[in-house]
């Protein structure tokens, strides 16, 4: 496999993964909205905005010098948020 073929397959993976990741993240964000967990909702919103910003930078070929920093910040924000959502205790409403 040549370098160009590997680069094309990596971009194909990015094209496939991004919509599925956004679906899962937005579904989690919607659940937090319904449960009125505002702090987690806003932290998740920041993570999704960073993810969309990094995607716009990647696909739009903008600010390639900042792209690795934004990608790492997006990954840290989304992973931290998903771990927080996983480990938070939801109490049933009365």
User: Where in the chain are the domains?
Assistant: 3-87
The pTM is what? Answer: 0.81
| pLDDT mean across residues, the chain | 87
Q: What is the dihedral of CA 59, 84, 80, 34, to 10 degrees?
A: 20
Percent of the chain clearing pLDDT 90 (strictly above): 64
Rg of the Cα atoms in the chain: 16
Q: Is there a contact between 46 and 87 (Cβ–Cβ < 8 Å)? A: no
Can you give the pLDDT at residue 72?
94
The 10s digit of each residue's pLDDT in 68-78 is 999 999 999 99
């Amino acid at each position: 496999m040549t370098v160009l073929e590997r680069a094309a397959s990596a971009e194909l993976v990015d094209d496939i993964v991004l919509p599925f990741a956004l679906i899962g993240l937005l579904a989690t964000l919607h659940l937090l909205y319904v449960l009125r967990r505002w702090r987690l909702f806003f932290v998740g919103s920041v993570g999704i905005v960073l993810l969309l910003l990094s995607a716009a930078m990647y696909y739009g070929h903008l600010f390639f010098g900042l792209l690795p920093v934004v990608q790492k910040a997006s990954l840290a924000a989304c992973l931290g948020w998903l771990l927080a959502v996983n480990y938070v205790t939801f109490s049933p409403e009365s």
